[in-house]
Amino acid sequence: AQKITQTQPGMFVQEKEAVTLDCTYDTSDPSYGLFWYKQPSSGEMIFLIYQGSYDQQNATEGRYSLNFQKARKSANLVISASQLGDSAMYFCAMREGLLWDNNNDMRFGAGTRLTVKP
C-alpha cells in the first residue's frame, strides 16, 4: 500500500527566505504522480505542483519547485521568497499508476503547518 510521510508537523520561515517542506513516499509501482496541495486557514485545498515518476526534470511553478529524488523516494517542496500569504498547511500526496488504470486513488501525508514570520 502506498504511504506518504511528512515528518515536520510545523515549520517557521522568515519572510523573503526560502523554505523546504519534506515528503517521503513508499510505493512498489514504478508509475506514480506526486502532488503538493496548500490549505490556508479558510480551509480550501489548492493544488500547487505535480511531478511524475518518469519526469527527468524537477517540476517548477512560479515560486514553488519540487526537489524530486527518486532513489530516495523523496519529493520535497521548496518555496522561494516566502510571503506572509504562504502561511498554511501543506500536504504531499501520491497517486499510483500513470498509464490507463482506473484504480488511481490519491493518498495524503499528515501535512506540515508553515508559518511565515514578518
Q: Which CB, 100 or 118, lies closer to other proteins?
A: 100
85 binds other proteins (CB under 8 A): no
Q: Which of 18, 30, 45, 83 binds other proteins (CB under 8 A)?
A: 45
User: Are 85 and 65 within 8 A, CB to CB?
Assistant: no
35 binds other proteins (CB under 8 A): yes
25 binds other proteins (CB under 8 A): no
**Nearest in space to 21 (alpha carbons), one of 118, 117, 84, 109:** 109
Residues 6+ apart with CB under 8 A from 77: 20, 21, 23, 36, 48, 49, 64, 65, 66, 67, 90, 92
118 binds other proteins (CB under 8 A): no
Residue span binding other proteins (CB under 8 A) among the ranges 10-18, 35-43, 58-66, 72-80: 35-43
**Nearest in space to 94 (alpha carbons), one of 28, 44, 43, 39:** 28
Q: Which residues bind other proteins (CB under 8 A)?
A: 4, 6, 9, 31-33, 35, 37, 43-45, 47, 50, 52, 91, 93-111
